[in-house]
Amino acid sequence: MRLKYPQCNTGITDTSVNQAPSPYNSALNQTDRIQFLVFDLDGVITSEQKYWNTARLTVWELITQPEYLGLTNYFGPTQPQQVLVSGQQTINNDFIYELKRRAINSNWDLTYFVFCLHLAGILRQLQQREPQKWSGLNPEIDLANSEQWQLLRQSLQGLTFDPNESAATIAQFWQETTDLKGSAVTEYVRPFYQKHLGISLPETHSDLWNLCYQNFQAWYEGRKGFTLPDDETVLDVEQIKAILQTLKDADRFTLAIATGRPRNEVIEPLTALGLLSFFDPQRIVTYDEVLAAEDQLNPNSTPIKLGKPHPFVVLKALYVDEDPQLFCTEAFQQQDRVHAVYIGDAASDVVAAQRSGCISVGVLTGFTASRAKSEQVQMFTDLGCDCVIESIQALPQVLGIEPT
């Protein structure tokens, strides 16, 4: 049975959702004012499956391999291919959905976050079952080098740990962070450790976070002796080409990309898929531009994080030559930009669109199959998303374009 969504103010059929209080509903009726279509990549054009599988492999490695925790059978699977087949044991789809719903965008943060929660479950079991070993554990977990991994590994040797304990710990974490979104969720890991374990965990972007990042990239790039399946698209690639061609042929829009992917992980797959040429090359904004801007803004001040849901990537796609400092000012962010649409699949995309003053369009192609569409639609609606569509296939109709 097909869901009957309320309509955007565009004359579109039941493939979209309207959030009445939004100031941009009238803009969606005046599509001749729209000049820029800015696309998120994962969940909108490309599938996130490769990233999720990379995160699963990274967490599996840190917990099971002998140079790290060495809990060989903790997840069951003992080979990378088995991890992909049984990936729900490492990071299940509900967990991924919850992260996206909470406006957490970075796959590296996801990896670090999941590892820390699994580790919390393991340490809680040690605390409850082996008080003598627990009392000898260093109350400050750093894991910055192989010696520190060895000390922690020795504390866990000879013991059997139940991953269901980790599941219970993760559930408790979500319960305690019901009202948190964005970086506030991942930052709560540290007080969570202190509250329940009396242990100090390093800052989010610590040596441990960097290790998660480095191992993630090594798995993703095939440097661990295992090749992940290539990037897929959320729709048939020829269908996507036809949609983008229709938008280009309308001769009204500049197509741009604003994504959290590193640049090489944008250019290479889009080139291979034959999609890169549809986008203005100067308006492809990636994690590389985020890092460069953070380095420029942060040399002698409190670090500013410019990843989504910060509006930096969206504003950079619109104003390619402006100083990044301008994008951090509230006055600039709050300007109405009804000439620009940001299309994304997650809460962080909607928030980034709102903070950049753009029209937000949410698509349903990025969520896991385990979630009902009505639940996904409700999430977008609660956030105040201006329009929700099944996929980018509905964009031409939303924008009042007849297919060629």
DSSP string, 48-67: SHHHHHHHHHHHHHHHHSTT
Inter-axis angle of helices 93-101 and 347-355, nearest 10: 10
Q: Write down the pLDDT at residue 298.
A: 76
Provide the CA 58 distance to its chain's centre, in angstroms. 16
Classify burial at 152, counting beta carbons within 10 Å of its beta carbon; exposed 0-12, middle 13-18, buried 19 or more.
buried
What is the pTM for the complete model shown? 0.85
pLDDT one-digit tens code per residue, 20-34: 334 444 456 667 889
Contacts of 298 (CB under 8 A, 6+ apart): 304
Q: How confident is the model at residue 13 (pLDDT cuts 50, 70, 90)?
A: very low
pLDDT one-digit tens code per residue, 335-352: 999 999 999 999 999 999
Question: Does an H or E element contain 353, and which?
Answer: helix 347-355
Here the tokens at position 370 are 């385990």
**Residue 103, Ramachandran bin (φ over 0: left; ψ between -120 and 50: alpha; else beta):** left
Here the tokens at position 197 are 């374990």
Q: Which domains does the chain have, with CATH numbers?
A: 16-47+233-398 (3.40.50.1000), 49-220 (no CATH)
C-alpha count within 13 angstroms, C-beta hemisphere, residue 331: 2
Contacts of 107 (CB under 8 A, 6+ apart): 48, 51, 52, 54, 55, 216, 260
Query: Phi, psi at residue 106, to the nearest 5°?
Result: -80, 130
Residue 167 three-state SS: helix
pLDDT one-digit tens code per residue, 51-106: 999 999 999 999 999 999 999 989 988 899 999 888 788 888 888 888 888 888 78
Q: Write down the pLDDT at residue 14.
A: 35
Q: What is the DSSP letter of 336?
A: -
Rounded Cα gap, residues 97 and 172, in angstroms:
17
Q: Write down the pLDDT at residue 20.
A: 39
pLDDT one-digit tens code per residue, 34-50: 999 999 999 999 998 89
